Amino acid sequence: MSPRDVLVITHDAHLAAPLETALRGAGHHVRIAGTVMAGLILAREAGPSVVLVERELPDGRGRDVITRLRGSSVPILVLTDRDIVEETVELLQLGANNVLVKPVAVQELVVQIRVQLRRPQRDEHLSYHGLEVWPHLQRVTVHGQNLRLTDKQRTLLAALLRTPGQIVSRADLTDALWPTRTLVKDSHALEVHVNHLRANFAAVGLHGVIHTVRQGGYMIHLERIDNGRNTPNSSSEP
């Protein structure tokens, strides 16, 4: 499972096509299903990181999907054309993470999906060569020793550790730190948090952990961490 996998369950072709295009353009892997049964099969096979489902489908309802996936930690967004408080409350109580009333702009759906992708799951545990993060517990350790970080630093580290050794774009990291901001974000603010995180690593003897990729973003890449001393790859950190 990739943290970018999105499952969309809708029979509305006018929504599915532009939404798939927008999500793929944002770097997500997208699967489309037109029925409850097809959606559940894809959910079982692909293990999506977030599900967007219509309230009404040809062979059932969105609530059927919520009920079947309730035991997992996957976030579920429900699209409905009925702005009825009681129905919204019922869907939320069943386990939906959010209920969105149509018409909804495609760009808003993309933002809502990315917000859910950036929220730590209750059982998420990230581990990479002795560096471990439990986002839901707000805990970071290096070979079992606690590393004190701010909320922003933990969020930034978790975003990098979800795809270790791979470039995470500045846009994705900015969305991770400020998921609900829709205005233009200050790239300098991201650099400040990256530098603070590097300083915290350096304070415990870890250098060269976070690499800057020019015109790209940032990445974590090292071979191992040996009791406070790390062995980075040949890349250098500016």
Same domain, 54 and 76: yes
Same domain, 105 and 14: yes
**pLDDT tens, residue by residue, 53-63:** 999 999 999 99
How much of the chain exceeds pLDDT 90, in percent? 34
Report residue 234's pLDDT band, with 50, 70 and 90 as the boundaries. very low
Task: Look at residue 208 and tell me whether its pLDDT is greater than 70.
Answer: yes
Looking at residue 197, its pLDDT comes to: 94
**Mean pLDDT of the region 155-181:** 82
The residue with tokens 């990256």 is 194
Same domain, 145 and 98: no
238 falls within a domain: no
* Cβ burial, residue 119 (10 Å; 0-12/13-18/19+): middle
| Stretch (H or E) spanning 154 | helix 151-161
Letter for the amino acid at 99? V
Read off the CATH number of the domain in which 98 is found.
3.40.50.2300
Same domain, 93 and 163: no
Average pLDDT, the chain: 83
Boundary of a domain, candidates 84, 118, 152: 118
Rounded distance between C-alpha atoms, residue 49 and residue 167, angstroms:
19
Sheet holding 126-128, edge to edge: 126-128, 131-134, 139-142, 145-146
**pLDDT tens, residue by residue, 17-53:** 999 999 988 888 899 999 999 999 998 887 788 999 9
Rounded distance between C-alpha atoms, residue 61 and residue 94, angstroms:
13
Task: Look at residue 180 and tell me whether its pLDDT is greater than 90.
Answer: no
**pLDDT tens, residue by residue, 98-114:** 999 988 899 889 888 88
Rounded distance between C-alpha atoms, residue 166 and residue 221, angstroms:
8
Rounded distance between C-alpha atoms, residue 113 and residue 116, angstroms:
5
**Mean pLDDT of the region 161-181:** 80
Boundary of a domain, candidates 72, 94, 118: 118
Number of folded domains that form the chain = 2
Task: Look at residue 137 and tell me whether its pLDDT is greater than 80.
Answer: no
If one compares 171 and 6, the residue with the highest pLDDT of the two is 6
Same domain, 152 and 96: no
How much of the chain exceeds pLDDT 70, in percent? 84
Task: Look at residue 236 and tell me whether its pLDDT is greater than 70.
Answer: no
Q: Which two tokens stand for residue 131?
A: 């560096």
Looking at residue 187, its pLDDT comes to: 61
Residue 214: other Cβ atoms inside 10 A: 6
Report residue 127's pLDDT band, with 50, 70 and 90 as the boundaries. confident
Same domain, 90 and 156: no
Q: Which domain range does residue 219 map to? A: 126-232
Rounded distance between C-alpha atoms, residue 136 and residue 124, angstroms:
7
Same domain, 106 and 137: no
